[in-house]
Amino acid sequence: MGATSASVIGDYLGVGALLVMAAERTGGSAVGAAGVFAAAVPMTVLVGTLGGPLLDRVRRVPSLVSLELLGALLICLPLLIDGVPVVYVTAALLAGQRTATGAIRQGVIAEGVSTSHRPALVALSNTIDQGAQVLGYLTGAAIYLAVSAEAALLLDAASFVLAALLLIGIRLPPRAEDTSDDGPPSFSTGLRTIVGQPVLRLFALLTVLTATAGALPETLAPTVVPDDDRLTPLLLAAAPLGQAVTIAILGRTRVVTRPWFQLGHLGVLATALLLAAAAPNATALVAANVAVGVGVAWILGPQLTFLRLTPPARMAQVTGLMWASIAVAEGGGSLLYGTLADHHGISAAYGAAGVLLTATAAVGAMIARRSPPVAALDRELVAEAAGSSV
């Protein structure tokens, strides 16, 4: 967990600095900041789809150490090269590094952690991730604005190196054998696994649609008050803060694993986005972004569903595919909503996202109501909860 903490702090220190750098180098454009997320799409798709089978077979500790050191080198690129393109190239390469690292970690959890302990562990991992996002965005943006880009990016590089040092010497459980009968692993293995399981198929679709608005608060934050950047770090960190606190609470419960709770939580996110659209000023938007983060925490439930229903030996491949799909949705959504914000205002962007996710939650509930596998999973989870309380 120490290595994970250092690693994700490095991720978000860099993203926070790159978001501000992109907005600054493109004259304060929301589309300029959105480009940081859009640039992540190609490498995430490449690593998540084509690299999935390889990530399930690599030696994990040496691979993780190498990936962390690679991150330290990549984040220094904007210090060596001026201009806007290098910001997006750096974001793209770091996205590939992040996808590979995350896929390997999910494989470790699937193989080494029992079902009963996963909610607490995944919640802890997510809380660390979101806490690091709060700290990373606040620190990365604040140091960039108050000190310099060099200071922010070098601090980021140091966090990656620390993560690599903490990983050296760690021993992981033996890799699970692939006992699936749907053919040898290939770039399509993750897709076959998801499509072949009705519950995964539903929640994969809901997750991807949700991802279109997942980075909306961070995308718009650098452009909310263009003449006064004092609130920018708070606007960046507000949603991750709400998400971190909510996940820390939900991770102590069993209800978070139930499909119907997850669908209701998705409705909370849609409502929060609509409230953000009505925020009268930047200070109110900080509070609204916290509420958006509370809603975004719904993703903890689908994570646990995927861990439960995916064969452990296929976990890295499924995770890689989902990260690739989320990156496409997040990048496309960021550009779409960024363009909408530039032409019609920030409220229009939040409102459009809220309407889309309201429809998504409603359609998801209709599909789930008619799905016997969803009902069967829900009954199974209720029975497990009742048995554990005896």
- Report the 10 Å Cβ neighbour count for 149: 18
Domain at 201, CATH number = 1.20.1250.20
Whether residue 181 is contained in a domain is answered as: no
Whether residue 143 is contained in a domain is answered as: yes
The pLDDT assigned to 322 comes to 85
Q: Which residues of the chain have pLDDT under 70?
A: 1-12, 28, 30, 51-53, 55-57, 107-142, 144-147, 149, 169-187, 225-229, 387-390
The pLDDT assigned to 113 comes to 58
Judge whether 316 and 135 are in contact, CB under 8 Å.
Answer: no
The pLDDT assigned to 288 comes to 93
Integer Cα distance of 335 and 39 in angstroms? 10
Integer Cα distance of 375 and 202 in angstroms? 13
Domain count, the chain: 1
The pLDDT assigned to 206 comes to 94
Whether residue 182 is contained in a domain is answered as: no
The pLDDT assigned to 14 comes to 73
The pLDDT assigned to 367 comes to 93
The pLDDT assigned to 201 comes to 93
Whether residue 180 is contained in a domain is answered as: no
Q: What is the DSSP string of 284-348?
A: HHHHHHHHHHHHHGGGHHHHHHHHHHS-GGGHHHHHHHHHHHHHHHHHHHHHHHHHHHHHH-HHH
The pLDDT assigned to 325 comes to 86
Whether residue 19 is contained in a domain is answered as: yes
Whether residue 34 is contained in a domain is answered as: yes
Task: Provide the phi-psi class of 175: left if phi over 0, else alpha when psi is between -120 and 50, else beta.
Answer: beta
Whether residue 381 is contained in a domain is answered as: yes
The pLDDT assigned to 289 comes to 92
Range(s) of the domain holding residue 129: 2-171+188-389
Whether residue 176 is contained in a domain is answered as: no
